[in-house]
């Protein structure tokens, strides 16, 4: 699978509405056949920093970045961002989340 983490810092006037701004992009991406997950989080230390954790089946990420909603999503985000986002994108084994071996909670 392709595992991607992106950090985005918003301009102050967009911070409180950023998740609503990216809702169409988020919903369209989650509906893609090869999308495994597409999840937003907000930093507890910096409310203007949003982290996107996403994963795609092998080969599906290319279709994602070539989709119309990807281009539209980037353009919707552009005026809201204070700086160029940071990203980590890697191919990893698996098709989903695994349980953490070091911290097991009774089943």
What are the tens digits of pLDDT across the range 74-95? 999 999 999 999 999 999 998 8
The pLDDT score that the predictor gives to residue 67 is 86
62-70: average pLDDT: 85
pLDDT confidence tier of residue 64, bands split at 50, 70 and 90: confident
2-9: strand order across its sheet: 35-42, 49-56, 2-9, 86-91
Residue 48, classed as helix, strand or coil, is: coil
Span 2-90: which CATH code?
A: 3.30.70.100
What is the share, in percent, of the chain residues with pLDDT greater than 90? 81
Q: Give the pLDDT band (50/70/90) at residue 55.
A: very high
Q: Which token pair is 10? A: 């918003």
pLDDT digits (tens, 9 = 90+) for 29-52: 999 999 999 999 999 999 999 999
The answer to whether the beta carbons of residues 8 and 14 sit under 8 Å apart is no
């Amino acid at each position: 699978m392709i595992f991607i983490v992106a950090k985005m810092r918003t301009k102050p006037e967009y911070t409180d509405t950023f998740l609503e701004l990216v809702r169409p992009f988020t919903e369209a991406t989650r509906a893609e056949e090869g999308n495994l997950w597409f999840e937003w989080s907000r930093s507890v230390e910096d409310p203007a920093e949003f982290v996107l954790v996403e994963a795609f089946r092998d080969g599906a990420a290319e279709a994602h970045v070539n989709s119309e909603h990807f281009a539209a999503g980037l353009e919707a985000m552009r005026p809201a961002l204070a700086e160029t986002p940071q990203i980590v994108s890697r191919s990893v084994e698996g098709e989903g989340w695994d349980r953490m071996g070091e911290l097991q909670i009774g089943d």
